[in-house]
Copies of this chain bind each other. A is one copy, B any other.
């Protein structure tokens, strides 16, 4: 039953040979790899403005475009640096690989921890932002879904997890329409908005008075460091830097490009940066002029992009398109986490840093355990942070910038080691990238420490320690199981015992089996009810097949305790011996009937698992759970005929 439900949700299994390695043209690759980066336009401006809201008597929203320019400059540095990574690692140069290969395992593990955390956060942020986009849309049609934010975000995650568990082929169209649609509608928003602004046909979303009220409300969020201007500026800048998340995706997927792959990937990366930078600056300029109020804990619910959409598009259907496209690109961005997290988990599991099972490919050719782990972790984050993008943002992007820094540092080491033609120039570029991203990482960690960044600063080293412990355990295991210098043990005596709860047809096969593997097998009965001894002895003389029977008293009515004591005793008297415990089990054919028969045999085997030198043998006897009266009579007649 569980099996067919699984089939219905996940679909039929796929053969190993069905794995495909399709090559993508640049036009198709751009949406596939850039959805994550571009989707940040949906929330990066808003988060910058939320930080500026409390900066002074009148919100310094005018600073937003300048901060956006700063973020885009950083983007340029990162992209130029990563173009070199692409050239050097045409097989795909994720931060985990680049840092690990060049700077040693510790750097690799650090990058791995940072990335894993960030993938989880990306999934949670995108799910929450996607719900916010829909909530803003419906809010303008008078439907309030504020109370359903968390369940909706969870459904969102469950849906994407399911799509990924099905292992559906990622067709180019699946990505192209939402991504290009989003780029187009936001570009149109910026162009149209620019015309309106310059021509003076501009009706702000909120009055100055409403802004002032929101500012006062927003100030409650800022705790002690509020009056310090430079702090707030850096805070806003850090929030804007979330726009850079996902930029590295192309460098991980160079292999998917058409030949010459590195060149095509580089070109696509530049295009992505141009689109992202243009949209981000454009939205930031307009939003700062449109009287939009970023949603915050005090009840402003509508997203900045939605407010801007209403200012520019009014009630025309284009507003509807904007919101749907926003939600769609956020789904795809979330999907990127679901593709990358399990892949990184499997890489790290193969290196012995995570449980090995994470490297197993499921029957749909996907890393199903990784997908489920991500869905659960992101779901818990959504619940813990009540599905609020604003609450999650301080935790977000530190991981990405840390991994940027480590990756660039790895590249610096790479050029230093290689010293190929022009290595000085390349090293300088990567060095600049390293310094810039390191500064941002530190700024981010400091200014957002109290808002939640401390969790990441605690979890990252905790994960690194965990990776180390898992790695050590696997090494210890491998050394112990190695056959090097292996000297097989002498043949030892095997005591064969049969545990008999009673004597009936279900027990006989176990007695036969025990006899067939050892001539001096004997039976044990744990005597929970002393009154049964005489009856069992009597039956035994008739049907016991000559196997000796021994009774173990059980004053506390436990089945396992006297048995374990008996086995320990046996092993004490004959050290190094093997004990084979044969357990007969009468199993009804129907699953519902199993509830009517205690699973004592199974529980006993579970308890004996941790005892060395005990081999458990399960001899099943199957019988029908249900027979109607005719069938019962037939059974009786059959037995009457049989000679005893």
User: Could you list which residues of chain A lie within 8 angstroms of chain B, going by C-beta atoms?
Assistant: 13-17, 355-357, 360-363, 470, 472-477, 479-489, 491, 494, 503-506, 508, 512-513, 516-517, 530, 539, 542-543, 545, 555-558, 578, 585-589, 593, 595-598, 605, 609-610, 612, 614-627, 632, 635-636, 639-640, 642-644
Q: A356-B597, A356-B598, A479-B636 are in contact. Are A486 and B618 (CB under 8 A)?
A: no
8 closest A-B pairs by beta carbon, nearest first, are A485-B639, A481-B504, A13-B556, A15-B555, A480-B623, A517-B517, A612-B622, A481-B505
Q: How far is the CB of A73 from chain B (nearest CB, A)?
A: 45
Q: Are A508 and B486 in contact (CB under 8 A)?
A: yes
Q: What 14 additional pairs, Cβ within 8 angstroms, besides A473-B588, A477-B625?
A: A355-B595, A356-B598, A476-B624, A476-B625, A476-B627, A479-B627, A480-B627, A483-B505, A486-B639, A486-B644, A487-B643, A609-B620, A610-B622, A615-B617
Q: Are A363 and B485 in contact (CB under 8 A)?
A: no
What are 12 A-B residue pairs whose CB atoms fall within 8 Å in the complex? Answer: A13-B558, A474-B596, A476-B632, A479-B627, A481-B505, A482-B505, A484-B639, A485-B644, A487-B643, A488-B508, A609-B618, A617-B618
Q: A363-B557, A481-B623, A642-B487 are in contact. Are A356 and B596 (CB under 8 A)?
A: yes
CB contacts (< 8 Å) of A640 on chain B: these are 485
Q: How far is the CB of A4 from chain B (nearest CB, A)?
A: 15
Q: For residue A472, which residue of chain B has the nearest CB?
A: B626
Of the candidates B479, B516, B609, the one whose C-beta lies within 8 Å of that of A494 is B516
Q: Are B597 and A479 in contact (CB under 8 A)?
A: no
Q: For residue A475, which residue of chain B has the nearest CB?
A: B632
Q: How far is the CB of A585 from chain B (nearest CB, A)?
A: 8
CB contacts (< 8 Å) of A620 on chain B: these are 609, 612, 614-615
Chain copies in complex: 2
Cα A517 to Cα B521 with chains together (Å): 13
CB contacts (< 8 Å) of A476 on chain B: these are 624-627, 632
Q: Are A477 and B508 in contact (CB under 8 A)?
A: no
Q: For residue A631, which residue of chain B has the nearest CB?
A: B476
Of the candidates B362, B485, B555, B587, the one whose C-beta lies within 8 Å of that of A610 is B587
Q: A15-B555, A356-B597, A555-B17 are in contact. Are A624 and B480 (CB under 8 A)?
A: yes
Q: How far is the CB of A413 from chain B (nearest CB, A)?
A: 28
Of the candidates B488, B517, B593, the one whose C-beta lies within 8 Å of that of A473 is B593
CB contacts (< 8 Å) of A598 on chain B: these are 356-357, 360
Of the candidates B481, B488, B516, B586, the one whose C-beta lies within 8 Å of that of A481 is B586
Cα A486 to Cα B636 with chains together (Å): 11
Q: How far is the CB of A66 from chain B (nearest CB, A)?
A: 51
Q: For residue A600, which residue of chain B has the nearest CB?
A: B357
Of the candidates B473, B505, B619, B626, the one whose C-beta lies within 8 Å of that of A625 is B473
Of the candidates B477, B506, B578, B615, the one whose C-beta lies within 8 Å of that of A618 is B615
Q: How far is the CB of A404 from chain B (nearest CB, A)?
A: 31
Cα A494 to Cα B475 with chains together (Å): 38
Q: How far is the CB of A517 from chain B (nearest CB, A)?
A: 4
Cα A470 to Cα B590 with chains together (Å): 13
Of the candidates B487, B558, B617, B624, the one whose C-beta lies within 8 Å of that of A363 is B558
Q: For residue A517, which residue of chain B has the nearest CB?
A: B517
Q: For residue A543, which residue of chain B has the nearest CB?
A: B483
Q: Are B505 and A632 in contact (CB under 8 A)?
A: no
Q: How far is the CB of A597 from chain B (nearest CB, A)?
A: 7
Q: Are B504 and A516 in contact (CB under 8 A)?
A: no
CB contacts (< 8 Å) of A488 on chain B: these are 508, 512, 545
CB contacts (< 8 Å) of A503 on chain B: these are 483
CB contacts (< 8 Å) of A363 on chain B: these are 556-558
CB contacts (< 8 Å) of A16 on chain B: these are 530, 555-557
Cα A605 to Cα B188 with chains together (Å): 61
Cα A587 to Cα B627 with chains together (Å): 42
Q: How far is the CB of A634 from chain B (nearest CB, A)?
A: 11
CB contacts (< 8 Å) of A585 on chain B: these are 609
Q: For residue A545, which residue of chain B has the nearest CB?
A: B488
Q: For residue A585, which residue of chain B has the nearest CB?
A: B609
Cα A488 to Cα B543 with chains together (Å): 10
Cα A644 to Cα B484 with chains together (Å): 8
CB contacts (< 8 Å) of A484 on chain B: these are 639
Cα A391 to Cα B251 with chains together (Å): 65
Q: How far is the CB of A559 from chain B (nearest CB, A)?
A: 10
CB contacts (< 8 Å) of A481 on chain B: these are 504-506, 586, 621, 623
Q: For residue A610, which residue of chain B has the nearest CB?
A: B587
CB contacts (< 8 Å) of A642 on chain B: these are 485-487
Cα A500 to Cα B413 with chains together (Å): 44
Q: Are B635 and A480 in contact (CB under 8 A)?
A: yes
